[in-house]
Amino acid sequence: MITIYHNNRCSKSRSALAKLENSGKAFEVVYYLETPPNKNELEEIIRKLGIKPLDLIRKGEKVFVENYKGKTLTDEEWIEAMVKHPILIERPVVVSGNRAVIARPADKIQEILG
């Protein structure tokens, strides 16, 4: 099953969702601001992305600038920050099986769709 962590207010996320809809494949939409991933889910997503937690952080968000800019946190602390403030999670993230991509640009979904 394919899962997209989606924010409908984001044009990049809407574009990725449209690509999934047009793919004909079954998928699930997680509105991650309303239903944020927990710590274990975030750790799993990060592992599948093959990145460091800091690389999943949206550094332009007001919450980041006001609370985290210029700080050096551990991977665990960055994950806790995303759990506490899901707006910090880069979007959209598309997960399928053991793989995941940050679908920016939306064409990166092809890596998941095959």
Q: Cβ-count burial of 37 within 10 angstroms (0-12 exposed, 13-18 middle, 19+ buried)?
A: buried
> Is residue 72 classed as helix, strand or coil in its secondary structure?
coil
Catalytic hit among 6, 8, 10, 85 = 10
The sign of the torsion formed by the CA atoms of 110, 105, 65, 10 equals negative
Is residue 104 part of the annotated active site? The answer reads no
Nearest to 93, CA basis, from 9, 1, 12: 12
CA-to-CA distance for 86 and 10, rounded, in angstroms? 14
Q: Give the active site residues.
A: 10
